[in-house]
Structure 1
Amino acid sequence: MKQFFLRFFTWWQDQTFGTMLFTARKGQRVGEDQLGNVYYRADVPPLGERRWVIYNGEADASAIPPGWHGWMHKKTDVPPTEDDYVAKEWELPHKPNRTGMPGAYRPDGSILTPTKRPAATGDYEAWSPGD
């Protein structure tokens, strides 16, 4: 029963009930990435082509690899599976977005870290209202 309500009312854990029905009726499977995300498309007159992803696990848009990102945002009409896409050397592998989590980046001087902000190095001059 819990799974029914989760599928019906939430989108961040898995596809919703509406997405599941639309995918079953209209969705054409395009491919799958190395993270297990599955990509679909459908022609929806008069709106045109619609593209979507069913995430493997929690819905995190940063988990879409660069090649699929270009296809999802209609920068290219050819999905990476049909184009023999190879990631560029400067494209980094996926790292989850840690914002708001214990592993988030916190620079020295942040109120959330015990460290102090480093002293100014002389290249900074403080402004005062009388200047």
Structure 2
Amino acid sequence: MGIFGKLFTWWDGATIGTMLYTAREGEHVGTDAQGNKYYRSKPKEGEKERRWVIYNGNNDASRVPSEWHGWLHGAFDDVPESRLPPAKIWEADYTPNATGTVSAYRPQGALERGGKRAKATGDYESWSPES
């Protein structure tokens, strides 16, 4: 994407304003397995530290791993890479949020699947105000 696109879009990476702020005020602290880069503001006397992420690809908050999410929100001060425990056997790899895409979950009866659902079975009685 060219400079013109960066002026007006935010959904496919950092805008020019964010890139300028990052270059001027940011200190790179780490990168996760997906290529997202994490920054914090350079220390200044009397100011609270700011933390942010520059996504590698589309801006989707579900792409931030839990350990980096905790760091972004100030749950701990150390960079997560220095605090990570070994991976558990039951931990699953990241899967992107499929909402709004062709691969999104659509239950039986959803309009995208024809809008037909199974008839109610005999264990259901509708409420009636007369009874």
State the TM-score, normalized to the length of structure 2. Answer: 0.83
Shift of 1:96: 1.5
Residue number in structure 2 paired with 1:29:
28
Task: Tell which deviates more after alignment, 49-58 or 117-126.
Answer: 117-126
Give aligned-pair identity as a percent. Answer: 51
- The size of the alignment, in residue pairs, is 130
SS in 1 for 2:49: strand
Inter-partner Cα distance in structure 2 for 1:25 and 1:13: 21
Shift of 1:46: 5.8
Residue number in structure 1 paired with 2:60:
60
AA paired with 1:11? W
Residue number in structure 1 paired with 2:79:
79
Unaligned runs of 5+ in 1: none
Deviations 1:98-122 (A, max 9, x none): 2121111110011210373234344
Inter-partner Cα distance in structure 2 for 1:70 and 1:53: 12
**Structure 1 pair 108/60, CA: closer, same or farther in 2 (3 Å)?**
same
Residue number in structure 2 paired with 1:18:
17
State the TM-score, normalized to the length of structure 1. Answer: 0.83
Residue number in structure 2 paired with 1:118:
118
Contact 1:13 1:59 in 2 (8 A): yes
**Structure 1 pair 24/110, CA: closer, same or farther in 2 (3 Å)?**
same
SS in 1 for 2:81: helix
